Structure 1
Amino acid sequence: MNNYLGFLMFATLVAAAPGPDMLLTIQATVLGGRPRGFATIAGIVVAATMQGLLVVWGLAAVLTRSQPLFLALRVIGVLYLLYMGAGAIRAAIKGELAPSDEAAEPSPSRRRLWSNVRQGFLCNITNPKVLMFNLAVLPQFVSNDAPAAKLLVYCLTLVTVGTAVLVAVALTANAARRALAKPRARRCVNAATGTVMVGFAAALAAEA
């Protein structure tokens, strides 16, 4: 029980640390409202759950030990972060706010919401650090001979805590939308998000 409580506290600290998932959630919510922020979170949760299941099944260890596969995953992660970052920066420079301004609609279209789900999913699933974190941290709290069910509980706890933090972030960002309603403020949000995304991509590439 003490191990689990310690893991719960550690998971909360990790989830509260800024990362690509959090930045994407903030951007989607500020520019598109709470529905699109929650749609982004839904995509992230699906991807994080899949990564947790990979750890439970032992496939994550196989993937990280296979240098070609892991390198390919890292390259995909870098390219996707660069793509997201460049898109946000381009939108900030050109002032392309029309798509996000439609977030003022009470009910964003299903197509737009699915686009946010897809972005959240890809942002998490292409991040090899999620797998590495699970493989490096979980053994500190769960013994190697622990049953798969126990490992699954820990993995899902990490997903649940991360989801709770992202929901809180989305609600806070949604509350700040009034202050960020002006085009100039939205351009600043895009510029900041894009710059940090590119920075994450550079850091991920440098680790290779």
Structure 2
Amino acid sequence: MSELLGFVAASLVVIVVPGPDLTLLLANTARSGRRAGHATAAGIMLGHAVLATAAVAGLTALLAASQVGYAILRVAGALYLIYLGVQSLADFVRLRRGAVGDAAAPNAVQRVPAATGRVGRAAFRQGLISNLLNPKVAVFYLALFPQFTLPGLGTTAAHSVLAGVFWLMCLLWFVLVLLLLARVETLLCRRGVQRGLAGASGVGLVGLGAALALRG
């Protein structure tokens, strides 16, 4: 039980620290509404499920052992984050120029229409790809699991349990975030707030992408 509690504590720190997933979720919610946020979270969670399964199967060990493969995935992930960040910054510029509504009323409410199927699919795809292309997430699974053992379980079974616990914790975290965003949906519709979130998320995504590319 102490091993499991230690794993939960370590996972909690990793999950709640802001990173690309949360930044992208906030950006898509501010840009396209609550449904886009839900779709983004669903894509992120599918990415976690794929990476957790790969970790249990030992595939992430191959990634960590291959410098070339890791470098390719790292650069691809970094470029994708920068691409998403540039999109958010473009939204910031558009809103700053007053392309939506009257620029003289920065706090006027801008009603965001419900996300269409196309917007929802795009948000889902962004969440999935950004998660899968982050090698730090894959290596995290590889580095964290071996540090914890569950008495009475073999390695594969123990890693499967830990992967399931981590996935459920991620799910609960995003549910809480989405519930909070739903409570402040009216605030998110304000042009000034949208502009601020677009600028902050754009800078954040570009910065995270650059850090991932340079960190090696």
Q: How does 1:58-207 map to 2 (within 5 A)?
A: 58-95=58-95, 103-105=112-114, 108-142=115-149, 146-207=154-215
Question: 1:26 touches 1:169 (CA, 8 Å); kept in 2?
Answer: no
Query: What is the TM-score when the length of structure 2 is the normalising length?
Result: 0.87
Question: 1:40 touches 1:118 (CA, 8 Å); kept in 2?
Answer: yes
Which entry has the higher C-alpha Rg, 1 or 2?
2
Query: What is the TM-score when the length of structure 1 is the normalising length?
Result: 0.90
CA distance in 1, matches of 2:75, 2:57: 24
Aligned partner letter, 1:174? A
The aligned residue for residue 52 of structure 1 is: 52
Question: 1:55 touches 1:135 (CA, 8 Å); kept in 2?
Answer: yes
Question: 1:92 touches 1:188 (CA, 8 Å); kept in 2?
Answer: yes
The number of equivalent residue pairs is: 203
CA distance in 1, matches of 2:140, 2:187: 36
**Sequence identity percentage:** 32
When the two chains are superposed, the root-mean-square deviation of aligned CA atoms in Å is 2.0
Q: Structure 1: where are the runs of 5+ without partners?
A: none
CA distance in 1, matches of 2:198, 2:48: 25
Where has structure 1 moved over 4 Å in runs of 4 or more? Answer: none
Bigger share in helix: 1
